[in-house]
Structure 1
Amino acid sequence: MEFEMQEQGFSTEMEYGTLQVCSDETYGYRPYQLLVSSVAVCSGGVLRKIMEKRRQTVHDIQIQTEVTRSGEGADEIQSIHLHFIVKADNINETKMEKNIEWTRKHCSMVQSVKDSIDISETFEIQTG
């Protein structure tokens, strides 16, 4: 990717359009929003693939995030909590715990930040 400086922030051209990034969300996505989105959506995509491979019919996955930042200095992200609301068939608590374990292990974004940001997951199951 190549980013160009704009009057407010930076931008890059992507396959689906222009991505605007700026510390002021009036002008684009804030960097921390993109980082949290990357962790959440990568995890959700991996979870879906794992469930499909395990023949668990996935109807919907919603992901709620809770982010803790330091509030000091660079205001870095200290933790990201992912809460998965999964609507699926052929699923129970034990299977879902294993799905989450494998998701954590195989999500490249979680693996990229795990030593600097505390990542935690919970889930609820809704039958399809």
Structure 2
Amino acid sequence: MTDFSFAMLPGIDQEELLWLQELTKDYNEDNKRKFMALYQGRRKDPQTVLICCLVGLVCFAGIHRFILNQIGMGILYFFTGGLCIVGTIVDAVNHRKLAWEYNKVAAMEAAALIKQY
């Protein structure tokens, strides 16, 4: 498995690609495959976050926060109408940052699981 296999992930940007390569540089091929399988299952695509955020503008506000496992913020957005729509618009603009923060945590969890074995 080459380092370019991470490039096949949907919506991946250069920063995330380089970070994943650095995180897995000491892994053998088998561990890289395991990491890729774990990370791919947990990773959230930035476009999915954006679409859910935009759906929140017209119906269920905060759905993107539920998808990112931010349950408390999701409930807050739901009951306040996306913090009076302003919070939802800010999240739509910052959707890549929200996805990157979630994906970084997911990668660290997957790396910790690989190191346990």
**Greater Rg, structure 1 or structure 2?**
1
Higher strand share: 1
TM-score by length of 2: 0.27
Question: What TM-score comes out, normalization by structure 1 length?
Answer: 0.25
